[in-house]
Amino acid sequence: MRDRYTISELAQEFGITTRTIRYYEDQGLLSPGRDGLNRVFSNRDRVRLKLALRGKRLGFSLNEIRELFELYDVSRDERRKLEAFLAKLNRHRTMLEERRGDIEIMLNEISFFADQCHRLLKEEDVGNGGDAAA
């Protein structure tokens, strides 16, 4: 595991464009170093990028993602605000659990549909070769 990535390496690894990465830096999600003009991304940036993309897949906005990053960062210095942080963590957890609930519901519906489909397909088989009692 290196600790130096170019912008196009990360873009290729995650299947996004360099523009996206620069935009994320612009929005405060990434803070790469510089080698002259060129950006140099650390493992920290790489992890953040992965987290950001995961957040996006779950429907979070870049703004929300940045706020979450800030929350997690804050937790490193300020112990006094731990209770508040815990509360926010729990809100975050609740949001995620709601979304997981949504997913469970949709998966159940899919299973229902799939079962129906399989039954219909079986009926067709029966209709081609035997009778309904088989």
Q: Which does 120 bind (CB under 5 to 8 A by kind): DNA, a second copy, none?
A: a second copy
* Residue 126 CA neighbour count, 13 Å, CB half: 10
**Of these, 14, 28, 51, 56, which contacts DNA (CB under 7 A)?**
56
Pick one of a second copy, DNA, none as the site partner of residue 43 (Cβ within 5 to 8 A by kind). none
Binding mask 70-109 for a second copy (x = CB under 8 A): --x--x---x--xx-xx--xx-xx--xxxxx-xxxxxx--
By C-beta, is 28 or 75 nearer to DNA? Answer: 28
As a whole number of angstroms, the distance between CA 120 and CA 115 comes to 9
Can residue 58 be called a binding residue for a second copy (CB under 8 A)? yes
Please check whether residue 27 is in contact with residue 62, taking contact to mean a CB–CB distance below 8 angstroms: yes
Residue 44 tokens read as 């920290």
Q: Which does 103 bind (CB under 5 to 8 A by kind): DNA, a second copy, none?
A: a second copy
- List 1, 2, 15, 36, residue binding DNA (CB under 7 A): 36
Interior/surface letters 97-113, b for 16+ CB within 10 angstroms, e for the rest: eeeeeeeeeeeeeeeee
Cβ atoms of 16 and 29 within 8 Å: the answer is: no
How far is the C-alpha of 118 from the C-alpha of 109, rounded, in Å?
Answer: 14
Number of other residues whose CB lies within 10 A of the CB of residue 45: 22
Report the interface residues with a second copy, using CB under 8 A: 54, 56-60, 72, 75, 79, 82-83, 85-86, 89-90, 92-93, 96-100, 102-107, 110, 113-114, 116-118, 120-121, 124
